[in-house]
Structure 1
Amino acid sequence: MWIDSRHQEAIERAALSIRHNMKKVSGDHWRPNYHISTEAFWMNDPNGFSTFKNEYHLFYQHHPYSAEWGPMFWGHVKSEDLVFWEHLPIALAPSEDYDLDGCFSGSTIEKDGFLYALYTGNVWTGNDQDTDLRQTQCLAVSEDGVHFNKSSKNPVISSAPNGDIHPHHFRDPKMWKHGDDYYCVVGSRTKDQQGQALLYRSKDLIDWHFMNVMAKSDGQLGYMWECPDFFHLDGQDVLMISPQGMKPKDYRYHNLHQAGYIQGKLDYETGMFSHGDFRLLDYGFDFYAPQTIQDFQGRRIMVAWMAMWESEMPEQKNNWAGAMTIPRELTIQDNEIISNPILEIEKLRENAVQYKNITVEGEHTFNQISGDSYELEVIIDAQASLTFGVKVRKSEALNQETLLMYNRAESLLELNRDRSGSGPKGSRVVPVKLHDNKLCLRIFIDKSSIEVFINNGEKVMSARIYPDQTAKGISFFSEKEITLIKFQKWDLNKSVSNGSIEGNSSS
């Protein structure tokens, strides 16, 4: 395949920058064991989550020159099972007039034995990054899934459509195939700052035709819809969006930006999506820009950026920032999306410990059980207790803990990180009903994160936490007697390995 030398040189310069900084990053005790993060420097949105030649590929927004957001590249990891991941060379780098200031988010799809990437080329036209920008949709192609060449026809979508569509904020295309045609949804806003999604159709991934404004805000769904994703699941069409600028409402929308979905039915003739209300996908602090694939087994799998814009990131001082959630399988139950960890995550388990029918009143610490990279599964019979919960990443000496507390009077589960160590504080709550007076929690702890799956995936809460490396304790508490019907813990092994980051390497 013909090699674009200018693009390749930009990739090789970035690889050199990463290689020179990997040692400092690898020694950080907050580095995840089983969550995807960069070998060095900045990471945000997942991109191009796809299957190609019997492997899974995940790309991501990456700045390979600092731990701050900057001109975007596409970092790249691959896996055979969605659990064990290998770093690959950077896939896309800003190198052309149309993407000079960033290869922004997008998607990939396999066609005729090649992997095609559709991404947003970003150019700043002035000093104000909210108003002085030009965004177009651009195509790159790979025959091995690793090395990409940009199309000579770029940009393949050179401007936003006419109408009540903002001419500059026009990004994050997500492609899929339906029938004989290819479709993509692009994030957008109206001229008076209301979020919306645009639908395009193509026969060949090169000539794209605008169909319609697929869906738009009713005035309550933010000023911009970023990172849209569209798929069919369990008889429903689902449009995932990451709205910017939603106002807090009761327990919802307290992060700077949100991520959720609307579901209904897409009319492929008119390009219009009839849908219900917006619902969140995660009720914690750190979850944005989710992207999905249909895997080799036909499951719908989702990954998201486990961080939040403008949030404090203590790891930046050690030359890295950001991580991805563990992959989650999506299903629909009672007309809502249920999220659960993929079954394959169990491959990482070792050192299993199990208890049954443990009575807790006051606080009970399992002195022989601790850690900073593990999975907990617990079923709690609340009995007559009104408040109870679990503390993880706990250190009495340092007064550190991350708190999960259930309030039965209000039917709310709280995730509190006020005493989680360094980094951002605060709490989030989510409505949770007990089933037969029982609460089921599945908790994933990594070096600097917590993900909580509640009642078999009815709700999920994700957060970055930055405890001291000695804060490894686990305890349960209750103001009246409760019973831990089942309590299981597994240590989880490391699953993300360093591959080659050389610009001229191959898989």
Structure 2
Amino acid sequence: MLTTTRIQNAEEKLSKASQEINNRYRLGYHIMAPANWINDPNGLIQFNGEYHVFYQHHPYDENWGPMHWGHVKSKDLVHWEHCRVALAPGDACDKDGCFSGSGVDHDGKLTLIYTGHHYIDKEKDLFYQNQNIAVSQDGVTFEKVGENPVIAEPPADSSHHFRDPKVWKHDDTWYMILGNSTKDDVGRVILYRSSDLRNWEYIGVLAQSDGTLGYMWECPDFFELDGKYVLLISPQGIEEKGDLYKNLFQTGYLVGEYDYNTNKFEHGSFTELDNGHDFYAVQTFLDDKGRRIAIGWMDMWESDMPTKADGWCGALTLPRVVTMGSNNKLLMNPVEELALLRETEHEVSTNQIISGSYLAEIKEELLEIKATFDLKNTSAQSVGIKIRGIEQEEAVLTYQLDHQKLTLDCSKLGKEKDGVRNTILEESDQLSVHVFIDRSSIEVFVNNGQATMTSRIYPREERLGIELFTENGDVKIEEFTYWKLKDVWK
């Protein structure tokens, strides 16, 4: 079957499926497919003045299946437009899936580099993977090149895991990193280079697990930030350790120094990038304002996904600006364009002392909240925010001052089995909390990106409101403001 026919079939299926989905948990201002399954963000790029985001997509079912590339674009990172499916599998180079990859501007053409997936024995999950290219003249319709696969097989010491190319240009040379593992299941990232995107030379290993960082490193990304080099990876197989690595798989980073001449990357230890339940496979790109912008998959493998019953599954996080903080810590904050979502502003209180709780009754589902607690002059043991339903439901964000521990508890809002996530904050005179609530998600940004926590939530009750609270003492609220946000998909 021709690629164009496969894409038309996928579009027809999506159009029909989108008429039948249940909208109870459909997000108001996040990237989703019109219907059915999505996972990893792919090919993030600003091209000809528009932001393009692609994503792993199964247009025929609400469960994971043969991977296509879905596609949205935007002029402002807020108002997204669905484009036609960009890639469909089934050619000799990508028989069983067009897996994750990246997008670049090559000679003025939007060019996608992606992994072709091929089953040897699907029942036993035996497969091989290669790397391919597709090119667009108009930024919407893509043609796979005749030279595919441009990298037919992994290095000799590699396992069959060989995927998720991230490609960038340094000086006049293209570089590609790939997620990979050794034959004895040690996760690593390997590096290639090319002058033309077609002929690739294997350079070697960029970074490798010391034995504690899992059997496979997915979705790598590598970039310079404030004079340091950052390697983002999504390792599979790290063992849980206290409050760390609580999700099935993680996304995090290594920061250090890199030399292109020697391919030596000297780096520090692995740090998780987000401490919520649902953040994986993050990718970044540089925009024309010089910002390093990150978007992740806002779900987690093998977690409960109630939206499957509604005919869709999966979403992407809000776009976040990544900056370098002190001690090589990456900070993430929402892009400033998200202020375009604000419809009405409600300044609830400033410089008010509370003890116990203070409730702002709000029925709205789509909200942005900013609250700042003065920690210098407080007698409270802990402070926080609750997003409350009219009866039992609530998502609770608590900061314990003596342990500097921040806790997000969603166990009464759709995550009954494994609802709690914790992280430690640096000591500070204030707790500044910036929260985005959508119909089935919560994204928390604390102290200008010192911590982020991203989780899916699944309310069944109507909303009661936002409650600020203290335990065993009082606290001054320096600011408490919320905004009703618009639904960009309506």
Q: Shorter-chain-normalised TM-score: which range? A: over 0.9
Higher mean C-alpha deviation, range 355-364 or range 222-231: 355-364
Contact 1:314 1:423 survives alignment (8 Å): no
Q: What's the Cα RMSD here?
A: 1.4
Task: Tell whether 2:166 aligns with 1:171.
Answer: no
Residue 296 of structure 1 aligns with which residue? 288
Q: Distance in 2 between matches of 1:390 and 1:67?
A: 33
Residue 492 of structure 1 aligns with which residue? 485
Residue 147 of structure 1 aligns with which residue? 141
Residue 505 of structure 1 aligns with which residue? none
Structure 1 residue ranges, 4+ long, deviating more than 6 angstroms after superposition? none
Residue 276 of structure 1 aligns with which residue? 268
The aligned runs of 1:61-460 (5 Å cut-off) are: 61-128=56-123, 130=125, 132-163=126-157, 165-166=158-159, 168-334=160-326, 335-354=328-347, 355-367=349-361, 369-382=362-375, 383-392=378-387, 394-397=388-391, 399-421=392-414, 425-436=418-429, 438-460=430-452
Pair 254,33 (structure 1): closer, same or farther in 2 beyond 3 Å: same
Q: Distance in 1 between matches of 2:18 and 2:234?
A: 31
Q: Report the CA distance between 1:84 and its aligned residue.
A: 1.1
Question: What is the one-letter code of the residue matched to 2:17?
Answer: N
Contact 1:330 1:339 survives alignment (8 Å): yes
Contact 2:393 2:461 survives alignment (8 Å): no
Q: Distance in 1 between matches of 2:264 and 2:95?
A: 34
User: Which of 13, 24, 29 is 2:24 aligned to?
Assistant: 29
Contact 1:121 1:138 survives alignment (8 Å): yes
Q: Report the CA distance between 1:409 and its aligned residue.
A: 2.0
Question: What is the one-letter code of the residue matched to 1:248?
Answer: E
Q: Report the CA distance between 1:311 and its aligned residue.
A: 0.6
Q: Distance in 2 between matches of 1:54 and 1:352?
A: 30
Structure 2 SS opposite 1:17: helix
Q: Distance in 1 between matches of 2:363 and 2:386?
A: 11
Q: Report the CA distance between 1:101 and its aligned residue.
A: 0.8
Contact 2:177 2:191 survives alignment (8 Å): yes
Structure 2 SS opposite 1:90: coil
Question: What is the one-letter code of the residue matched to 2:151?
Answer: I
Superposed CA deviations along residues 215-236 of structure 1, whole A, max 9, x for unmatched, are 1001111110000011111111
Structure 2 SS opposite 1:152: coil
Question: What is the one-letter code of the residue matched to 2:130?
Answer: T
Higher mean C-alpha deviation, range 94-103 or range 60-69: 94-103
Q: Distance in 1 between matches of 2:231 and 2:244?
A: 19
Question: What is the one-letter code of the residue matched to 1:154?
Answer: N
Structure 2: any 5+ residue segments left out of the alignment? none
Task: Tell whether 2:450 aligns with 1:475.
Answer: no
Q: Distance in 1 between matches of 2:28 and 2:264?
A: 43
Q: Distance in 1 between matches of 2:298 and 2:11?
A: 24
Structure 2 SS opposite 1:92: coil
Q: Distance in 2 between matches of 1:426 and 1:128?
A: 33
Contact 1:387 1:408 survives alignment (8 Å): yes
TM-score normalised by length of structure 1: 0.93
Q: Distance in 2 between matches of 1:187 and 1:318?
A: 33
Contact 1:311 1:424 survives alignment (8 Å): no
Tell me how many residue pairs correspond in the alignment. Answer: 485
Residue 6 of structure 2 aligns with which residue? 10
Q: Distance in 1 between matches of 2:457 and 2:344?
A: 24
Q: Report the CA distance between 1:128 and its aligned residue.
A: 4.3
Q: Distance in 1 between matches of 2:218 and 2:140?
A: 26
Q: Distance in 2 between matches of 1:426 and 1:80?
A: 36
Question: What is the one-letter code of the residue matched to 2:9?
Answer: R
Pair 267,434 (structure 1): closer, same or farther in 2 beyond 3 Å: closer
Q: Distance in 2 between matches of 1:469 and 1:416?
A: 17
Pair 469,110 (structure 1): closer, same or farther in 2 beyond 3 Å: farther
Residue 462 of structure 1 aligns with which residue? 454
Give the percent of matched residue pairs that are identical in Structure 1 and Structure 2: 45
Q: Which protein, 1 or 2, shows the higher relative CO under an 8 Å CA cutoff with sep ≥ 6?
A: 1
Residue 503 of structure 1 aligns with which residue? none
Pair 472,11 (structure 1): closer, same or farther in 2 beyond 3 Å: farther
Question: What is the one-letter code of the residue matched to 1:410?
Answer: H
Contact 1:137 1:171 survives alignment (8 Å): yes
Q: Report the CA distance between 1:129 and its aligned residue.
A: 5.2
Superposed CA deviations along residues 420-465 of structure 1, whole A, max 9, x for unmatched, are 14775420000013422x2110011000000000101111000000
